[in-house]
Amino acid sequence: MMNIACHYAIARFAPFVETGEFANVGVVMFAPGARFFGFKLLGNRYARVTNFFEGLDTKVFKGSITGLREELDRILRMLQEPGTLSKESQVAVWTDLVKPRETMVRFSEPRIVMADDCEAKLLALYDYYVGHNFATKEYHEKLLERAVTGWLRDAGLQNKFHPARIGNDEYHAHFPFVSGPDTHPERIIKPLNLNHADAAKIIDHGGLWLTRIAALKKRDLLPPQVLFTVQGPAPDESSPRGRAKNEIVTELKSKDVLVIPHGSALPIIEFAKSGTIPSYEST
């Protein structure tokens, strides 16, 4: 039973006052009823943050995080000292910590969550708000699908496509955009995220769809007009990630699948209308 009220706030790095942009870099938590104070801040894996703020010297970020960590350590020692602060004084320390400030690292509006283990809840919140543990490959492909849905809607074609299970009882696969009846599909559009952090994940995820396409084609269950919109490294990228993505694209094309870069509505709309695509940038 979750019966501990935990107050928490998200630490946000906002180096440029002019834009108001920020990146989540930590979580701090206070549970007066359990005499708990804890925090977790972004460590050495900060490239995502510094790359987001173009032109920012990494020393600025590291200095800001170091300063915040030292302040939070000081508060932790103070709150852990037995008998030094009343409950009201502890609440005052928390309130002062998270109040709005015009500093590079500031806190979100404080929130409350119920928990039975404060430390575990703190780590879970960090994994969500900073680690983005919800951002799986499935999540990223849902974002790509959302974009395609918007383009089809703007072109008045959304009613011609629907999600469907293509195949039979022996083998089938789910596709987000299918035109025609499920038993005799006419066209398929499938956004594919190959923008993973390392080549192995690109090959694994792309290989999964290669296997599905091959199995459906072998059983004559796939319509002749199939389009994959691919997000991933640039086609001329010579890194392992770039080579892995190019390998998957080449294999898809060898199975008579049309492949285009994800990001342009025009070829997708043209395919949705006619089953063909105009000239497009190479994937």
CATH number at residue 214: 3.40.50
Confidence (pLDDT) at 21: 84
- Which among 3, 10, 2, 14 is positioned nearest to 29, based on CA atoms? 10
Indicate whether 217 and 234 sit together in one domain.
yes
The answer as to whether 237 is a domain residue is yes
Averaged in consecutive runs of 10 residues, what is the pLDDT profile of the chain (283 residues)? 85 83 92 91 77 79 91 91 82 93 90 91 90 64 90 93 94 95 93 88 94 96 95 80 94 95 91 80 51
Domain range for residue 34?
4-129
Report the half-sphere exposure of 156 (CA within 13 A, side-chain side): 0
56, 145 contact by CB (below 8 A): no
Name, in order, each residue with C-beta under 8 angstroms of 240's C-beta and a sequence gap of 6 or more. Answer: 198, 199
Rounded to whole angstroms, the Cα distance separating 49 from 265 reads 29
As a residue count, the chain comes to 283
The answer as to whether 26 is a domain residue is yes
Q: At which of 95, 129, 163 does a domain end?
A: 129
The answer as to whether 281 is a domain residue is no
Indicate whether 125 and 12 sit together in one domain.
yes
The answer as to whether 46 is a domain residue is yes
Indicate whether 20 and 122 sit together in one domain.
yes
The answer as to whether 228 is a domain residue is yes
Helix (H, G, I), strand (E, B) or coil at 230: strand
> What pTM did the predictor assign?
0.56
Indicate whether 105 and 151 sit together in one domain.
no
Q: At which of 129, 147, 164 does a domain end?
A: 129
Indicate whether 162 and 115 sit together in one domain.
no
Indicate whether 189 and 243 sit together in one domain.
yes
145, 178 contact by CB (below 8 A): no
- Which among 6, 21, 26, 20 is positioned nearest to 130, based on CA atoms? 26
Q: Which residues pair with 173 in a beta bridge?
A: 166
Indicate whether 68 and 166 sit together in one domain.
no
Q: At which of 129, 160, 186 does a domain end?
A: 129
- Which among 141, 136, 54, 37 is positioned nearest to 93, based on CA atoms? 37
Indicate whether 85 and 156 sit together in one domain.
no
Indicate whether 50 and 99 sit together in one domain.
yes
The answer as to whether 279 is a domain residue is no
Indicate whether 260 and 150 sit together in one domain.
yes
The answer as to whether 255 is a domain residue is yes
Kindly state the greatest CA–CA separation across the chain: 76
4, 114 contact by CB (below 8 A): yes
Confidence (pLDDT) at 1: 47
Indicate whether 98 and 174 sit together in one domain.
no
Indicate whether 34 and 117 sit together in one domain.
yes
The answer as to whether 283 is a domain residue is no
Number of domains in the chain: 2
Rounded to whole angstroms, the Cα distance separating 29 from 20 reads 24
Residue 106 identity:
R
CA distances, 279 to each of 109, 267, 276 (Å): 49, 8, 10
Residue found under tokens 């990001």 = 263
